[in-house]
Amino acid sequence: MSRKLLEVEDLHVWFDLPHHRELHAVQGVSFGVGDGERLGLVGESGCGKTTTILALMGLLPPTATVAGRVLLDGEDVLARGERTVAPHRWKSVAMVFQGAMNAFNPVRRIGDQLVEPMELHGVAEGATAEARAAELLERVGISSTRLHNYPHEFSGGMRQRAAIAMALACGPRLLLADEPTTALDVMVQAQILELLVSLADDLGLALILVTHDLPVVAQTCTAAAVMYAGEIVETGPMDALYHDPRHPYTRLLFAATPDLESRDAVISIPGTPPRLDRQVIGCPFRPRCDVAFDRCTAERPALGRVGDRHDAACHAAEQVAV
Amino acid sequence: MTALEGPVEAAVEELPRRPGVVRRLLESPVFTSRQSLVGLVILTFFVLMALTAPLFIHGDVQAKVGPVFARPSGSHWLGTDGGGADMMKLLVMGARVSLLVGFASAAVSVLIGGTVGIVSGFFGGKVDIVLMRLTDYVLVLPDIPLMIVVAALFGRSLTNIIVIIGVIYWTSTARLLRAQVKSVRERVYVQRARALGAGNTRLIFRHVLPQVTPLLVANTVLFVAYAIFAETFIAFLGLGDPSLVSWGRLIQNAFTDDAILNNAWWAIVPPGVAVVIVVVACTMVGQAMEDAFNPRLRSGHLSTRRFRLRPVPIREPR
Amino acid sequence: MNTNGHDAASPLLEVEGLVVRYPIHRAIVETVVRRPKQHVHAVSGVSFDVSRGEMVALVGESGCGKTTTAQALLQLVRPDAGTVRFDGIDVTALGPRELRRLRRRMQIIYQDPYESLDPRFRVEATVAEALVVHREGTREERRRRVVEALELAGLSPPELYLDRYPHELSGGQRQRVAIAASLALGPDLLVADEPVSMLDVSVRAGILALLDELRDRGLAVLMITHDLSTAARFADRICVMYLGRIVEEGPAAQVIENARHPYTKALLSVVPRRDPRRRVEPQILRGETPNPISVPSGCRFHPRCPVAVDECSTVDPELRPPAGVGAGHRAACLLAGD
């Protein structure tokens, strides 16, 4: 099996809490993304999805501790912490942050802010950089004549696209998008998602889309990983996740999402996720699960193969041989 | 009415309880930051000293008890001043006036500034414009000439000093509070209370004031520092109450008595140092409080330290 | 879809021709030069009804005026024109005293459960606030009503919640407290402004089911939302707004399955479905909603409309029933009949 562009192996992240306690935010997450693939990282607030992708770029605060391997083209970028991950930032991996449309410096022109990462990382400078910035704007659907505008002269949707352009400035191979459309209207959301898909297809960009919005992932991504309480509970092709979910949380999450064309009752999942500052015994989803049995209380399920490229961490899911 | 089918998300017993007021106060940056604690200790020392002074010091402090400009010795720890009075006693009694003026005028200033700021920020519109114009005018008044004029017109009493300092310097508090109130006023819970039918009085006193009080307190503490300093230079200029001893007065006395010419450093330096120490102590406490209460001052993301690494934990059969 | 068994003959809330405009402050120069005053046309003639036991969804993108409409009908914002009748009473003509009394019957729930509650008020104080403001009942009576309201809002057992602070509660619980606070006075109309958009998916249905249940008990509910899927599933009627006007309205099922306005059709086509196999050809409109300051001439939507004809730039279409639709379904489009 050929090596994927990104392979994450057993990633853990802990955050310091007062009184010498720790929050185990990411608990042994493993997944991979290849060139041109679009992976959705889905989950509700507190599941660890944002922390996971921040870890991929080493953007964690000093209160964080990381373990595990993040292999970019075979090289472990977390091997020596900041030193090994810094060279990759923006050049191999770039990120569009949550609320990126507000991440622009209001007193500098958009063009200058696009050029900045290029010069910083030695990708281009001066006139070349400006030309490249113009190209990038066009690529994201903004007229290059607007290079000289200030951020406030752009609408929210345009700023989001400019943020994507900025992420592409140094020609990364992997793009991480954290809730890129959450604060946007549905029409603008459609525009942005269409853009992200076309970038992945045309540039061979690998895309990881982090969101809580299942329908967005269903329509944009080829595969997805569902996260709960800091770990991946199910992962597989989008089709399999919707039509053959093997983890109760995945199934219930879909059932909790209203659909335009469905007459099904929309359910809510009682209870809340477990606290991550304590060790969880047994399956973390058990208190809220509708099919839990004895084994679930005592033993924590591991991610096992349940179908073609389809894994689930549930005792009730029938495993198949790899 | 029967209960509706509504799943309760978490067993509420599991939720962490908010610790009591005393506990929160003790855990707040006021007591936990080293800087703030040092400041607090110093301030407490001086306040206690000022409060208990009359128990130890009797009679007229300014009376001659030794030779003029006597050096520090066993009988006079800080020597004597230009009138032969004991410097130590003068310093301790001076603390009373200086601290009193400091706290009292801080109170006046914060009262005026707080009211103006809250009214201006809450009501906005014409009221805001008028009050801010007023603030601007007061801001540009030159403080020292004004004090000289007031002293000349109304006499040099302690009350006048306190009022003057309070009246001249309330503007920064007003500005700060106005900004804070404007932002709190837009909070959803305030709008919701208004939608319920709550009147302005209720909105201000029950919803807005509790939110701005911490900042007000921090501002007051910082202001005490400034007020003490202001009193010092007022007294130094000879505009202070002539019947009272304050640190500024002591410095002024030393000047007029030519202490420097007589090489009597003990007559000039101790009061100055005392002012500096108290001012710095107040600033330390006030800064710590302001850092805690003003979320915009947080700059944790600028830290240069990075995340740490750890080996992968071994998966035990769970 | 729940059937509306209540008498819809006299709607509880009747909004007619609502207009809200904000003047834009001009520099002195512009006053001198006599440039015409510009306005933000937030709401430009909105009319709709809400009956008891009915949930109406006001749907649209940001800038369409739905939130301003909600605030205007509660008189939190003074409308520039139009009437709002609540139970037959003209709300716009009321003085402050009567308005205050009327407020008890119309309540609003906000989008952000993390900001809706005063962090210094315990749950009991928050829920009781409405009663305190309107001087209702003694302390004991108030407590009893608070407990009732909390039960109604699904927070059970209520005693456990009474002396909690908001930060001790989850988002869903906080929203329920906000709902309980609005229910304490026993209102007839509840305006819910994006009640679940800031909550986790697994929690949303609970709150929506609660609103559903309240509606079944006779409450009139006006839900403001940008989420068409939620509106489709829970609302009885949907009003689609664009740039300050309602462009299409009708029974929810009708609007979703038989949309006649091009904007509604485009919106429906870009809402993502849950099923990855369900590929709807998205009609992505170019550009974004124009500024409410400079509203296009004729039909507001014509610059972005995929099927606009010449007439559309000069004629401002009225809301009327196009051919071949069910009862109560209206669209503001010259071409809606096709």
Given a cut of 60, is residue B317 above it in pLDDT?
no
Residue of B nearest to A279 (CA): B318
Q: Which of residues 246-305 of B touch A (CB under 8 A)?
A: 300-301, 303, 305
Average pLDDT across chain A, whole number? 91
* Residues listed for chain A: 322
A223-228 and A38-42: which strand pairing? parallel
Pairwise CA distance, residues C28 & A66, whole Å: 59
Q: Tokens at residue C7, please?
A: 């008498």
C48-85 pLDDT, tens digit per residue, is 999 999 999 999 998 899 999 999 988 888 899 999 99
Confidence of residue B82 (pLDDT cuts 50, 70, 90): confident
B302 vs chain A: nearest CA distance in angstroms? 10
Radius of gyration over alpha carbons of chain C, in Å? 21
Select from A34, A26, A40 the least CA-distant residue to A177. A40
Higher-confidence residue of B148 and A56: namely A56
B106 vs chain C: nearest CA distance in angstroms? 27
Cβ–Cβ contact A62 with B under 8 A: yes
In a domain, A290, yes or no: yes
8 A C-beta contact, residue C65 and residue C292: yes
Place of tokens 């009567």: C98
Beta bridge partners of A76: A71
Higher-confidence residue of A312 and B261: namely A312
Select from A182, A169, A109 the least CA-distant residue to A139. A169
Given a cut of 50, is residue C313 above it in pLDDT?
yes
Identify which of A191, A219, A258 has the shortest CB distance to residue C229. Answer: A258
Given a cut of 70, is residue C20 above it in pLDDT?
yes
Beta bridge partners of C189: C106, C220
| Cβ contact C172–B9 (<8 Å) | yes
| Cβ contact B195–C209 (<8 Å) | no
Confidence of residue C208 (pLDDT cuts 50, 70, 90): very high
In a domain, A285, yes or no: yes
Per-residue pLDDT, C294: 84
Q: Which of A264-273, B82-91, C28-37 has the lowest mean pLDDT?
A: C28-37
Place of tokens 């209001």: A106
Per-residue pLDDT, B289: 81
Does the pTM surpass 0.95? The reply is no
Can you give the CATH number for the domain in which C308 is found?
Answer: 3.40.50.300
Confidence of residue B294 (pLDDT cuts 50, 70, 90): low
8 A C-beta contact, residue A164 and residue A196: yes
Residue B61: how many CB atoms within 10 A of its CB?
A: 18
Select from A32, A52, A28, A56 the least CA-distant residue to A42. A52
Place of tokens 């060790």: A279
| Cβ contact A299–B305 (<8 Å) | no
In a domain, C2, yes or no: no
Cβ–Cβ contact C284 with A under 8 A: yes
Identify which of B307, B310, B318 has the shortest CB distance to residue A299. Answer: B318
Q: Tokens at residue A181, please?
A: 């459309």
Residues of A in contact with C205 (CB under 8 A): 256, 258, 266-268
Select from C47, C12, C66, C64 the least CA-distant residue to C223. C66
Given a cut of 70, is residue B296 above it in pLDDT?
no
Cβ–Cβ contact C170 with A under 8 A: yes
Q: Which of A135-139, A281-285, B273-277, C156-160 has the lowest mean pLDDT?
A: C156-160
Per-residue pLDDT, C75: 87
DSSP sequence for B168-187 = HS-HHHHHHHHHHHHHHHTS
Pairwise CA distance, residues A106 & A112, whole Å: 12
Residue A70 — φ and ψ, nearest 5°?
-120, 105
Interface test with B, best of A22, A54, A300 (most B CBs within 10 A): A300
Per-residue pLDDT, A182: 84
In a domain, A41, yes or no: yes
Pairwise CA distance, residues B246 & B244, whole Å: 6
In a domain, C113, yes or no: no
8 A C-beta contact, residue A82 and residue A61: no
Identify the DSSP state of C167: G
Higher-confidence residue of C318 and A99: namely C318
Select from C264, C271, C257 the least CA-distant residue to C241. C264
Pairwise CA distance, residues A53 & C134, whole Å: 51
Cβ–Cβ contact A297 with B under 8 A: no
In a domain, C139, yes or no: no
| Cβ contact C274–A218 (<8 Å) | yes
Residues of B in contact with C153 (CB under 8 A): 4, 6
C214-245 pLDDT, tens digit per residue, is 999 999 999 999 999 999 999 999 999 999 99
Identify which of B309, B311, B312 has the shortest CB distance to residue A81. Answer: B309
The tally of domains found in chain A comes to 1
Residue of C nearest to B194 (CA): C76
Given a cut of 50, is residue A302 above it in pLDDT?
yes
The mean per-residue pLDDT over the stretch C310-322 comes to 89
Per-residue pLDDT, C204: 92
Per-residue pLDDT, C77: 87
Place of tokens 């697994």: C202
Pairwise CA distance, residues B90 & B251, whole Å: 11
Average pLDDT across chain C, whole number? 89
Confidence of residue C338 (pLDDT cuts 50, 70, 90): low
Residue-range definition of the domain harbouring residue C48? 9-87+214-338
The mean per-residue pLDDT over the stretch C175-192 comes to 94
Count of alpha carbons within 13 Å of C318, Cβ hemisphere only?
3
Cβ–Cβ contact C226 with A under 8 A: yes
Q: Which of residues 228-287 of A touch C (CB under 8 A)?
A: 238-239, 241-243, 252-254, 256-262, 266-270, 272
Helices (H) and strands (E) in chain C, counts: 10, 11
3-state class (DSSP) for residue A12: strand
> What's the start-to-end Cα distance of chain C, in Å?
27
Residue of B nearest to C130 (CA): B196
Interface test with B, best of C114, C133, C197 (most B CBs within 10 A): C133
Identify which of B7, B191, B196 has the shortest CB distance to residue C103. Answer: B196
A60-112 pLDDT, tens digit per residue, is 988 999 999 999 988 999 888 888 988 999 999 999 988 777 889 999 999 99
| Cβ contact B308–A64 (<8 Å) | yes
C39-50 and A310-312: which strand pairing? unpaired
Pairwise CA distance, residues A38 & A216, whole Å: 12
B295 vs chain C: nearest CA distance in angstroms? 16
Can you give the CATH number for the domain in which A37 is found?
Answer: 3.40.50.300
Confidence of residue B156 (pLDDT cuts 50, 70, 90): confident
The tally of domains found in chain C comes to 1
Residue of C nearest to A224 (CA): C276
In a domain, C203, yes or no: no
Residues of B in contact with A62 (CB under 8 A): 303, 305-308
Per-residue pLDDT, B23: 62
In a domain, C314, yes or no: yes
Higher-confidence residue of A284 and C28: namely A284
Pairwise CA distance, residues A24 & A230, whole Å: 7
Cβ–Cβ contact C234 with A under 8 A: yes
The mean per-residue pLDDT over the stretch C255-283 comes to 92
Per-residue pLDDT, B22: 60
Pairwise CA distance, residues B17 & A316, whole Å: 37
Helices B87-123 and B158-168 cross at an angle (nearest 10°) of: 40
Identify the DSSP state of A35: T
Could you tell me the sign of the dihedral formed by the alpha carbons of B35, B40, B45, B50, in that order?
positive
B203-259 pLDDT, tens digit per residue, is 999 999 998 988 888 888 888 998 898 888 888 888 888 888 889 888 888 888 888
Confidence of residue C337 (pLDDT cuts 50, 70, 90): confident
Pairwise CA distance, residues C85 & C98, whole Å: 14
Residue of A nearest to B300 (CA): A61
Identify which of A156, A190, A212 has the shortest CB distance to residue C270. Answer: A190
In a domain, C93, yes or no: no
Q: Is the peptide bond before A237 cis (omega within 30 degrees of 0)?
A: no
Residues of A in contact with B300 (CB under 8 A): 61
Alpha helices in chain C (DSSP H): 28-32, 66-73, 96-102, 123-133, 139-152, 171-183, 201-216, 228-234, 252-257, 262-270
> What's the start-to-end Cα distance of chain B, in Å?
46
The percent helix, strand, coil of chain C (3-state, each to 5) is 35, 20, 45
Q: Tokens at residue B86, please?
A: 């004991």
Per-residue pLDDT, B316: 54
Per-residue pLDDT, C240: 96
Percent of chain C's residues with pLDDT above 70: 96
Confidence of residue B302 (pLDDT cuts 50, 70, 90): low
Residue of C nearest to B17 (CA): C168
Q: Which of residues 196-235 of B touch A (CB under 8 A)?
A: none
Could you tell me the sign of the dihedral formed by the alpha carbons of B26, B32, B33, B39, in that order?
positive
Residue of C nearest to B189 (CA): C116
Contacts of A among chains (3+ CB pairs under 8 A): B, C
Residue-range definition of the domain harbouring residue A41? 6-84+211-312
Confidence of residue C5 (pLDDT cuts 50, 70, 90): very low
Given a cut of 70, is residue B26 above it in pLDDT?
no
Confidence of residue A184 (pLDDT cuts 50, 70, 90): confident
Pairwise CA distance, residues A182 & A45, whole Å: 13
Per-residue pLDDT, A56: 94
8 A C-beta contact, residue C249 and residue C322: no
Given a cut of 90, is residue C193 above it in pLDDT?
yes
3-state class (DSSP) for residue A258: coil
Higher-confidence residue of A184 and C264: namely C264
Count of alpha carbons within 13 Å of B123, Cβ hemisphere only?
16
In a domain, C46, yes or no: yes
Per-residue pLDDT, C136: 85
Q: Which of A213-227, B53-67, B264-278, C322-336 has the highest mean pLDDT?
A: A213-227
